[in-house]
Structure 1
Amino acid sequence: MKNFGGLLLALLLLIATTLGANAQKFGWVDSEFIMAKMPEYAKAQQELNTLSDTWQKEIEAQQKDLDKLYHNYQAEEVVLTEPMKKKRQDEILKKEQEIKAYRNKQFGYEGQLFKKRQELNKPVQDKVFEACEKVAKKKQLAVVFDKASDLTMLYTNPAHDYTEFVLEELGLGAEDRNQPGPKGAVKTVAPPKTPVDPNFESDSGTPEPVIGTKAAAKPAVRSTKKK
């Protein structure tokens, strides 16, 4: 992707140099730097972090319930009949599946966090784009590159940096050069790793993780579900 970006950048520069003197004027901006200065962007990141924390706590609560189910099963296994064991195993497997489904719904690819990030960031990105467009027209720029994009920019001449002009267009300009503000990155949610109980198998035939507990030295328990 970066190689493609470098080729695209070289191609754009080649086109600019062949279109004449008026088309040779270009510039670049740093969209990340600009958005970090925008109060609405910081507000959006704060809202995303709040949602992320809320959903993560809900997952942790569900994991505690699963842990309780498993502990009870281990403690009472020796006095349970085979039908009762099967019922308990099914309850545990169902709870595991519910937790996995909820985690994917909230934090998975194109999950709720992904969609909410797009929803909250789009107005900010549109505002930056409109400001860049206005600056490009005022300064008669044929091409404006984004230093924060996937395009590989091996060298950027400060003489072609129009970031400050965009900030001024947004009403965020300063007499001295702005310093980067906090990026407000959304927290990355990574559920804690858990040990694996070799004596308990899920319906997939692979050992399931034991939440917050060590594997007990119990006889092997296998799901009675037909393969």
Structure 2
Amino acid sequence: MRKQFLYLCLALVVAQTINAQTRGTKLGYIDMEYILQNVPDYTEAKAQLEQKAEKWKLEIDTKKIEINKLKEALKAERALLTKELIDERETEINFLENENLDYQQKRFGANGDLMIQKSVLVKPIQDQVFTAVQDIAERLKYDFIFDKTSDLTMLFAAKRFDISEQILRTLNRTEKREQLTKKQLKAEEAKENKEDALDENPALADRQKVLDDKKATRDKILADRKLLQEQKKKEFDDKRKQVIADREAKKNGTVSANVKIEATETAASNDPAKDSAKLAVEDAKQKQADARAKTLEDRKKVLEDRKKALDEKRKKILEDREAIRKAKEEKLKENTNKN
């Protein structure tokens, strides 16, 4: 029994060794610049720092302009000045130049304010990135993870080994959780578990990417179709409004802008046969429009006459009823008086 147990343990050790050898080394890399550019806090702070740097640069350039003015003035007045005055001005100019160079070094030097503030700005995010890298490396069993933007020369890197998006998701999760309710937090955890499952299974992630691409294509087709329908509807509405405007213009004895344009185009044509055909078509259209307008006018008049007759009939019925009622009241009054 003891021998069987030893054989079983030995078999498990051998199996794990073979699995480790056949699995191979798992590599990954991150793009620190890409990660920093997509962290909102960093981009805001970087914009403020760039504004400071522009202000410092403007101060340095302004000082250079003042120094150049002093040099030009000295050059123009050198012949009129004594040696002592010339030496005094040159000393002043040299002092201002050195002072400006010291200020430039203080702001933009290797250990200047700009580099120090950049380091202070980046360090907290770098610490978060390193923590996220360690968590992902342990969870997904990476052997090595490199930084693409460091001094390490990376001649080629397949996109499937880029885990920058996973790092960004890890950084954003903590900030999101602080602003979510319990129900939203539960939904977010389910979403995170799904994303982690995709990270652990590259084949599943590729399949999900294909599905997302198909969905994006389908959504774009639907959006284009909806846009086309809206354009057609707008053209139809514009055409209908133009027809109504033309009818109103004809009814009022004026000419719409559309008719004026067509008349101008007809007058500008150089082909008499074409002009005649076009005039005939326009004349036929005009007659049809006039006929429709006359029909509508007649129908409107008939309806008004009917309404007027009904009103008069209703009024006469009411008057007859009122006369009958009054006659009954008079007769009832007479009978009452007789009694």
**TM-score, with length taken from structure 1:** 0.62
What is residue 24 of structure 1 aligned with on the other side?
25
The structure-2 alpha-carbon separation of the partners of 1:156 and 1:76, relative to structure 1 and needing over 3 Å to count, comes to: closer
The structure-2 alpha-carbon separation of the partners of 1:154 and 1:73, relative to structure 1 and needing over 3 Å to count, comes to: closer
The structure-2 alpha-carbon separation of the partners of 1:169 and 1:152, relative to structure 1 and needing over 3 Å to count, comes to: same
The structure-2 alpha-carbon separation of the partners of 1:152 and 1:117, relative to structure 1 and needing over 3 Å to count, comes to: same
| Larger helix proportion of the pair | 2
What is residue 165 of structure 1 aligned with on the other side?
166
State the SS of the aligned residue for 2:146: strand
**Displaced runs of 4+ in structure 1, greater than 6 A?**
172-177
Q: Deviations over 1:83-110 (max 9, x none)?
A: 1111111111111111111111111222
What is the identity, as a one-letter code, of the residue corresponding to 2:32? Answer: S
- The answer as to 2:172 corresponding to 1:151 is no
Report if aligned partners of 1:131, 1:166 keep a CA contact under 8 Å in 2. yes
Identity of aligned residues (%): 32
What is residue 177 of structure 2 aligned with on the other side?
none
What is residue 108 of structure 1 aligned with on the other side?
109
Q: Distance in 1 between matches of 2:46 and 2:52?
A: 10
Q: Deviations over 1:129-152 (max 9, x none)?
A: 111111112112222122222222
What is residue 59 of structure 2 aligned with on the other side?
58
The structure-2 alpha-carbon separation of the partners of 1:22 and 1:62, relative to structure 1 and needing over 3 Å to count, comes to: same
- Residue pairs, 1:196-207, within 5 angstroms: none
Question: Which is bigger in relative contact order (C-alpha 8 A, separation at least 6)?
Answer: 1
Report if aligned partners of 1:25, 1:142 keep a CA contact under 8 Å in 2. yes
Q: Distance in 1 between matches of 2:155 and 2:79?
A: 67
What is residue 133 of structure 1 aligned with on the other side?
134
The structure-2 alpha-carbon separation of the partners of 1:86 and 1:158, relative to structure 1 and needing over 3 Å to count, comes to: closer
What is residue 91 of structure 2 aligned with on the other side?
90
Report if aligned partners of 1:27, 1:160 keep a CA contact under 8 Å in 2. yes
State the SS of the aligned residue for 2:172: coil
**TM-score, with length taken from structure 2:** 0.43
State the SS of the aligned residue for 1:109: coil
Q: Deviations over 1:190-222 (max 9, x none)?
A: xxxxxxxxxxxxxxxxxxxxxxxxxxxxxxxxx
State the SS of the aligned residue for 1:150: coil
| Rg comparison, structure with higher value | 2
Q: Distance in 2 between matches of 1:58 and 1:158?
A: 45
Q: CA deviation at 1:21?
A: 5.5
The structure-2 alpha-carbon separation of the partners of 1:143 and 1:21, relative to structure 1 and needing over 3 Å to count, comes to: farther
Structure 2 alignment gaps of length 5 or more: 1-19, 174-191, 196-207, 213-339
Q: Distance in 2 between matches of 1:82 and 1:20?
A: 85
Q: What is the total number of aligned residue pairs between the two structures?
A: 159
The structure-2 alpha-carbon separation of the partners of 1:138 and 1:68, relative to structure 1 and needing over 3 Å to count, comes to: same
The structure-2 alpha-carbon separation of the partners of 1:79 and 1:155, relative to structure 1 and needing over 3 Å to count, comes to: closer
Structure 1 alignment gaps of length 5 or more: 1-18, 178-227
Aligned Cα RMSD in Å?
2.5
State the SS of the aligned residue for 1:28: strand
| Larger strand proportion of the pair | 1
What is residue 46 of structure 1 aligned with on the other side?
47
- Residue pairs, 1:173-188, within 5 angstroms: none
